[in-house]
Amino acid sequence: MIMEKERAIQCVPVELMERLRDLAARLWESKSPASVHLTAILEEFEPDVKSLGQLVKEYDEDYAERLQAGQSKYEQKEGGLKTEIEGLKTRLAKSETARAEALKRLEEFRAVLSDRETLLAEMKMRTAEQEGELNSKYVSRMQELYEKVSKKEMDLLLRWEDKNRAQEARAQEFESERAARERQLKLREKALEEEFNARKSELIRTFDRIREGLEAREKALAAREAQQPAKGGGI
């Protein structure tokens, strides 16, 4: 199916259409060929020709429909916005309440902080005073201890020197005694060695005498034994 080409619609005055119809009728009565052509044109374009009242009415109806649709959308949107605004108001009220409580607590914290700062300043002042007193006492005490320690160290040093001198004297005395005993031991060792050598020589001489005596006895015994067989043969 071939669709007809859509024509542009333009508002035409009603009087113009009526005058064109009257003209077509007069031309028809006068047997003019133009009446046929004019009548054909009017019949062709009559469905598309609309009066200003019809256009306004259509525009009013379309505008009313669009206005109704827009009004509904607006009312829906307005209702949603009102609900959202009420929620925001509720949240804002809660936020204001929370903010008021927070400000109240902040003021309380500030008051407590101010009290703590005042107390801290007083404590710092007392601490500074106490530190000054402690420093003075510390310096005095350290001076006293230093003097005591110095005196004690001096006493210990003197006692150590006396003890060291006594130990050195005892060491020298011990060394002298050791040297004397060593000399005595050497002399005694020498005397014992000489006595040992003398006794050794005496023992050697005694052994030689005994050996010589034994040898003499053996010789005499041998001679006596040699003489005994000769005497027996004579009997």
pLDDT at 69: 80
Per-residue pLDDT tens for 136-174? 777 787 777 777 777 777 777 778 888 888 888 888 888
Tokens found for residue 20:
């064109």
Split at pLDDT 50, 70, 90, the class of 230 is low
Split at pLDDT 50, 70, 90, the class of 4 is very low
Picking from 46, 51, 48, 57, the residue whose alpha carbon sits closest to that of residue 21 is 46
Give the C-alpha separation, 108 to 105, whole Å: 5
The 3-state DSSP composition of the chain as helix, strand, coil percent (nearest 5) reads 90, 0, 10
Is residue 29 within 8 Å of 36, Cβ to Cβ? Answer: no
C-alpha distances out from residue 15 to 19, 43, 50, 190, 229, Å: 6, 17, 12, 183, 222
Instruction: Check whether 47 has a pLDDT greater than 80.
Output: no
Give the C-alpha separation, 122 to 126, whole Å: 6
Lowest-pLDDT range of 3-7, 73-77, 113-117, 227-231: 3-7
Per-residue pLDDT tens for 8-26? 555 566 677 778 788 888 8
Give the C-alpha separation, 214 to 206, whole Å: 12
Residue 55 burial by CB count (10 A; 0-12/13-18/19+): exposed, middle or buried? middle
